[in-house]
A and B are shown apart, each in its own frame.
Chain A
């Protein structure tokens, strides 16, 4: 059976996907150039705060175009750029970033006492804790480690207990 040539919609989609990082970098460069020209080149001569951003933006614009061109030319699947997501990868990213955001959201109000277990709980959704006891032991152990090292050892003013409103 003759293999079907990989053209048409699939080819176009692949080209767009391959060019996307470079295009975004180029766009970022263009935005920096526009901001530098519009905001800081209203006077002030050569030592204006816009001089280096302008040059950097122009270089980034060029580098972005070169990256896009290189990625379009490169063989699909030749590097990680073209490789598809690994199974469960998106969930891993969401869980790890989510756990960090949980810490950011709760540490001020709930203190380390409740925030550390909450972070571990979120991460545990992607880790193979066989028993609830193992999970509880990890939470307790980490809490002791953090309070012992940072609050008692380094004497940092970190909130341990929840703040009563």
Chain B
């Protein structure tokens, strides 16, 4: 209780409240724009975080992350183009609902479901985080190495297409993470004599290039999509008693599933929302309504992905093992700020940790206001012409990346990864595992080498401790199951989703 009060006192400072509001507003703004998911949104706003205190930066970026999920469903419902990958499921039934003149109901129920899922996730985080951090303090370097391997392997579930391609991307990411000066020996690796590369590849330039710039190119090629006209007066947004009754059970199932999936290292919100949709369809007495405007098909996945978004912070903050690729990016940014998330973070920075958790309550309440009475504002943003939107995004990306080091080479790096990212997307490669590998690779290597040094080079020591052996066993099973499932033909989901995540 003291911790909660500590966090509440900290987050109620005007400056942190302002950054919380800014984060969720920018998150909703970027989330509403089709195709720009939480990864791109967080990437785009990382430069700003370098010019504010670390606690404000953390609250800002976290707000952007879960704000994107709220905004993401708006584009899915009104355009049939997912605002974020995890909102792609909202296209299945949300768009048909919009075409039936029920857009207001779909939008309001996704917001209510999102809040319910997020609230449950926050309660779970408050309850579990200190315990998990306590367990984390008992873990050895070998255990951490094994846990990071689980995170890397589990990240393959992020790849929606070929799992082998996802594995290859993760390995490329790890390889890019080698570039720079080795922290233990001081030797340069893969720098080709370049002074610029001696510090390693700039994470911000890489992530903005891969997610932001490649999406701008895709948006330019895709062209404009007409918005479904929607009645967004308050009366049409209010659900009836029958709508609420029908949504209670899907919200409960979505919350439980999302909270569980989100807390697993490497799983993330995309998996949660897709799994939730499949579960709802299975338990429904009328599965034939799914894909044709079933309210449960919108509510459950949106509840699920928001619950997952909150519980994804549990492994990230308490163990330093990210719940998904966006969490990995957040982890990378915190490390750049000189903060190392993990069990010691909870003990050494209690004010920052609990302020973050309390900011989730405030942020989610603000998001309900932003996405219910103010939904009309965001819908109008969907109508902003591409000729204004595209240059704005490109210029903001350039200025943002340049502002970090005032380095033109960072911009060139961003351009390089933008082209690579687009090429990879066109060839059916997912870039999220690449970023996860890039961030987790160096950490994994560090723990491995530390464990080997402690064991005086004895590799068998890595599996002699039962906990390490068990975690590595889980990683091996997960890898085999993921690759085997990837080789099988996939279950068909409703067509016309405007692009799968």
Q: Is A46 an interface residue (CB 8 A)?
A: yes
Bound-state CA distance A91–B388 (Å) is: 19
Query: B411 to A103, Cβ gap below 8 A?
Result: yes
Query: B391 to A138, Cβ gap below 8 A?
Result: yes
Query: B408 to A104, Cβ gap below 8 A?
Result: yes
Q: Is B54 an interface residue (CB 8 A)?
A: no
Q: A47-B453, A158-B402 are in contact. Are A96 and B220 (CB under 8 A)?
A: yes
| CB-contact partner of B387 in A60, A89, A97, A128, under 8 A | A128
State which of B8-16, B104-112, B163-171 sits at the interface with chain A: B163-171
Q: Is B285 an interface residue (CB 8 A)?
A: no
Query: A93 to B422, Cβ gap below 8 A?
Result: yes
Q: A21-B429, A101-B412 are in contact. Are A79 and B418 (CB under 8 A)?
A: no
A:78-102 near B, CB below 8 Å: 79-81, 83, 85-86, 88-89, 92-93, 95-97, 99-101
| CB-contact partner of A81 in B428, B445, B457, under 8 A | B428
In the complex formed, the residue of B with least CB distance to A32 is: B175
A:122-155 near B, CB below 8 Å: 123-124, 126-129, 134, 138, 142, 145-146, 150, 154-155
Q: Is A45 an interface residue (CB 8 A)?
A: yes
B:418-449 near A, CB below 8 Å: 418-419, 422, 425-429, 441, 444-445, 448-449
Query: B411 to A100, Cβ gap below 8 A?
Result: yes
Q: Is A7 an interface residue (CB 8 A)?
A: no
| CB-contact partner of A100 in B161, B394, B406, B453, under 8 A | B394
Q: Is A51 an interface residue (CB 8 A)?
A: yes
Q: A70-B164, A126-B220 are in contact. Are A47 and B391 (CB under 8 A)?
A: no
| CB-contact partner of A25 in B168, B221, B452, B459, under 8 A | B168
Q: A52-B178, A96-B418 are in contact. Are A103 and B402 (CB under 8 A)?
A: yes
Q: A51-B449, A96-B220 are in contact. Are A107 and B426 (CB under 8 A)?
A: no
| CB-contact partner of A49 in B48, B189, B414, under 8 A | B189
Query: A138 to B221, Cβ gap below 8 A?
Result: no
Bound-state CA distance A128–B182 (Å) is: 49
Query: A105 to B408, Cβ gap below 8 A?
Result: yes
Query: B394 to A59, Cβ gap below 8 A?
Result: no
Q: Is B190 an interface residue (CB 8 A)?
A: yes
Query: B217 to A92, Cβ gap below 8 A?
Result: yes
Select the residue from A51, A66, A80, A103 with max chain B CB neighbours within 10 A. A103
Interface residues of A, dominant DSSP = helix
Query: A57 to B220, Cβ gap below 8 A?
Result: no
Interface residues of B, dominant DSSP = helix
Chain B min CB distance to A103 (Å): 4
B:141-170 near A, CB below 8 Å: 161-162, 164-165, 167-168
Query: B426 to A60, Cβ gap below 8 A?
Result: no
Q: Is B135 an interface residue (CB 8 A)?
A: no
Chain B min CB distance to A66 (Å): 5
Bound-state CA distance A81–B422 (Å) is: 12
Query: B398 to A103, Cβ gap below 8 A?
Result: yes
Interface size class of B (residues with CB under 8 A): 35 or more
Query: B459 to A46, Cβ gap below 8 A?
Result: yes
B:444-486 near A, CB below 8 Å: 444-445, 448-449, 452-453, 457, 459
- Which residues of B have CB within 8 Å of A155? 51
Query: B221 to A89, Cβ gap below 8 A?
Result: yes
Bound-state CA distance A25–B168 (Å) is: 7
Query: A35 to B190, Cβ gap below 8 A?
Result: yes
In the complex formed, the residue of A with least CB distance to B450 is: A47
Query: A60 to B427, Cβ gap below 8 A?
Result: no
- Which residues of A have CB within 8 Å of B184? 47, 49
| CB-contact partner of A40 in B48, B187, B444, under 8 A | B187
Query: A158 to B403, Cβ gap below 8 A?
Result: yes
Q: Is B415 an interface residue (CB 8 A)?
A: yes
- Which residues of A have CB within 8 Å of B399? 112, 146, 150, 158
Bound-state CA distance A85–B423 (Å) is: 11
CB-defined A-B contacts under 8 Å, sample of 23: A46-B457, A47-B452, A52-B444, A52-B448, A53-B190, A60-B168, A60-B171, A60-B175, A79-B161, A80-B428, A88-B221, A97-B213, A100-B398, A100-B414, A105-B408, A108-B408, A116-B395, A119-B395, A120-B395, A123-B390, A127-B220, A127-B390, A142-B392
Knowing that A66-B168, A67-B162 touch, tell me 10 more A-B residue pairs with CB under 8 angstroms.
A53-B189, A56-B175, A60-B168, A66-B164, A80-B427, A100-B418, A124-B391, A126-B220, A127-B387, A150-B403
Residue numbers of B with Cβ under 8 A of A are 48, 51, 161-162, 164-165, 167-168, 171-172, 174-175, 178, 182, 184-185, 187, 189-190, 213, 216-217, 220-221, 386-388, 390-392, 394-399, 402-403, 406, 408-409, 411-412, 414-415, 418-419, 422, 425-429, 441, 444-445, 448-449, 452-453, 457, 459
